[in-house]
Amino acid sequence: MNERALKEQICEMGRRLYQRGYVSANDGNISVRLNDREILCTPTMISKGFMRPEDICKVDYEGNQLAGTRKRTSEIFLHLAVYKHRPDVMAVVHSHPPHATAFAVAHEPIPKCILPEVEVFIGEVPIAPYETPGGQPFANTIVPYLSRTNTILLANHGTVTFGPDLEKAYWNTEIIDSYCKILILARQLGRVNYITEEKTRELLTLKQRLGYDDPRLHCDGCPVCGPGLVIQQTGDFVPEPYAFRRDVGASCGACAGNGAPPSSTHDSDFTPSDLEALVQRITDEIYRQLTSPSGP
């Protein structure tokens, strides 16, 4: 694709981001690697829904502007971090899709082994720690995760997705936001069921056949579905599941053999007869104390 066509494609992806509500006002930015010296990127202070090819900027790998009448995005260093650490990546999309950003705000790790498409096209999704947007320290937050994923949540901020071309980079944004939306809806219904470890391994084999790699395939003895990430969260920032703890709202049958530790606090382990027995024990104890010679 020539430079003009790439600029038009950036405008088209900007329209999609805007129309799907992934960027408000002037939020978000898009970039495409042109060659080993130049990168195309969106300008700052422009709605991504209404860009023209003339608005697109060109920068070098240090973020210096080479061409374009508008000023380049201030978040270019985030994009450059991806290109420097991932020679295979040709395009990067950063936006604030509301459902995925809700997980980023809640510091809620994206649960695995729920939807087949997500296992195949996305896999594990790390959450990079919060940093003030723009600048190198912000860009550095994603570096530890770059080698093993194409989708990263930015804590209290949004998402960054990337891929071998712009459309695939953009698709990762769509997939992760739609997944997070479904998760929130299912959670509101009150119960989330998981695909078994065995069935998820089938998906990962399929994934490999489609030409996608998954770090979980290279981790001997790691549970594919269980809590924790094969992509290790680094430093002090280790988000723990809260809304998607496997012992909350998961049905027992779906948990079986699924890497979830059996727990005495498992909601679904309490059957009506357990509850009846517990009430009976408490009643007996009160009665015993009331009737014992030394009194309660």
Active site residues: 75
Please enumerate in sequence order all residues whose Cβ is within 8 A of that of 10, keeping only pairs 6 or more positions apart, or say none. 30, 32, 40, 42, 51, 53, 56, 166
Which has the closest alpha carbon to 172: 221, 120, 238?
120
Q: CB of residue 19 vs Zn ion: minimum separation in angstroms? A: 18
- Among the listed ranges 145-153, 154-162, 214-222, 244-252, the one in contact with Zn ion (CB under 5 A) is 154-162
Whether 77 and 138 have beta carbons less than 8 Å apart is answered as: yes
- Among the listed ranges 52-60, 64-72, 106-114, 150-158, the one in contact with Zn ion (CB under 5 A) is 150-158
Whether 75 and 124 have beta carbons less than 8 Å apart is answered as: no
3-state class of 122 per DSSP?
Answer: coil
Which is nearer to Zn ion, 73 or 200 (by Cβ)? 73
The CA-atom distances, in angstroms, between 252 and each of 238, 256, 264, 270 are 27, 6, 12, 11
To which residue do tokens 């009976």 refer? 280
Q: CB of residue 61 vs Zn ion: minimum separation in angstroms? A: 21
3-state class of 170 per DSSP?
Answer: helix
Which is nearer to Zn ion, 158 or 259 (by Cβ)? 158
Which is nearer to Zn ion, 160 or 175 (by Cβ)? 160
Give the footprint of Zn ion on residues 158-177 (CB under 5 A): 158
Residue number of the CB closest to Zn ion reads 158
Q: CB of residue 104 vs Zn ion: minimum separation in angstroms? A: 11
How many amino acids of this chain bind Zn ion (CB under 5 A)? 1
Which is nearer to Zn ion, 43 or 158 (by Cβ)? 158
Q: CB of residue 148 vs Zn ion: minimum separation in angstroms? A: 22
Which residues would be at the binding site for Zn ion (CB under 5 A)?
158
